[in-house]
Amino acid sequence: MDVVADGDRMTVTMWGELDLGSRRLLPELYDMLALSGGGIDLRLDAVGFCDCSGLNALLDLHARAVDQGKSVIVRSCGVAVERVLDLTGTRETLTDSGRPDDDAPPALSGTAPSATTPSGTAPSGTAPPEEDGKDLRAEVAQLRRAMQTRPTIDLARGILMASFGLTPEAAWSVLVRTSQNTNTKLHDLARDLVGTVRGTTLPEQVQRQLGAAIAGTDRRDEVGAYPTGGPAEQRD
């Protein structure tokens, strides 16, 4: 990221990929948001990849801004980000400034080129429209599933945070590690964990792996830190 103060707003230019790892940027972005008077303007032209995890990070930042009476606006972006915004219907949420700005550049740049030539034929080297349509439908379905399961996953993270004093990053790593070690889909694990609030019981194997993941998470460090040892009371 590169940050430049612009009046009462912060202009943040990002490059690379917006995926699960982009959540590590949120604490710094939250600080920038708090220091700004009006919010953050995002320049995402150099972002070459964006998935639903990266989009969720942007939506979390947007929600934090709304709570503070500020705004987070995507001022420009490349094809990768624009496609995700369009497929998930979040373009208006993240690009509507709510204020007139005639001198500002268009909210989005880098629109994908047309798939046909002026004569109506597919240009050389491009996929047929039918194949491209299938890919788009599959991507839309995947993104919709991700958006539908996110609330349950966030609730499960909250339960772990409240029950064991974990940071959001540590709670996420516990869920991921348990999911991998039990060969359970992440959203299924989150659903079962949320169900324990209503009195259901986790399978014994899941309980063991969940306990091991919690005990092996250093609560003072960022996601991904799993020390081999720890104090006896932490292991308990």
Question: Region 68-78: what's the mean pLDDT?
Answer: 92
Q: What percent of the chain has pLDDT over 90?
A: 21
Pick the residue with more confidence: 130 or 160? Answer: 160
117 pLDDT tier (thresholds 50, 70, 90):
very low
Question: Up-side HSE of residue 132: CA atoms within 13 Å toward CB?
Answer: 9
Q: What percent of the chain has pLDDT over 70?
A: 69
Query: Residue 74: what pLDDT?
Result: 94
Amino acid at 22: S
Closest by CA to 44, choosing from 11, 10, 88, is: 11
Q: Match 């949320």 to its residue by tokens.
A: 194
- In this structure, how many other beta carbons lie within 10 angstroms of the beta carbon of residue 73? 22
d(CA 17, CA 81): 10
Query: Residue 143: what pLDDT?
Result: 59
pTM of whole model > 0.85?
no
Find the DSSP H helices in the chain: 26-35, 52-67, 79-88, 91-95, 129-164, 168-182, 186-195, 204-215, 232-235
Question: Region 58-84: what's the mean pLDDT?
Answer: 91
Alpha-carbon distance values, 5 to 13, 210, 229 (Å): 11, 44, 44
Whether residue 43 is predicted with pLDDT greater than 90 in this model: the reply is: yes
Whether residue 108 is predicted with pLDDT greater than 60 in this model: the reply is: no
Closest by CA to 86, choosing from 63, 108, 117, is: 108
Span of 119-123, 181-185, 209-213 with lowest mean pLDDT: 119-123
Query: Residue 58: what pLDDT?
Result: 92
Highest mean pLDDT among 49-63, 85-99, 108-122: 49-63
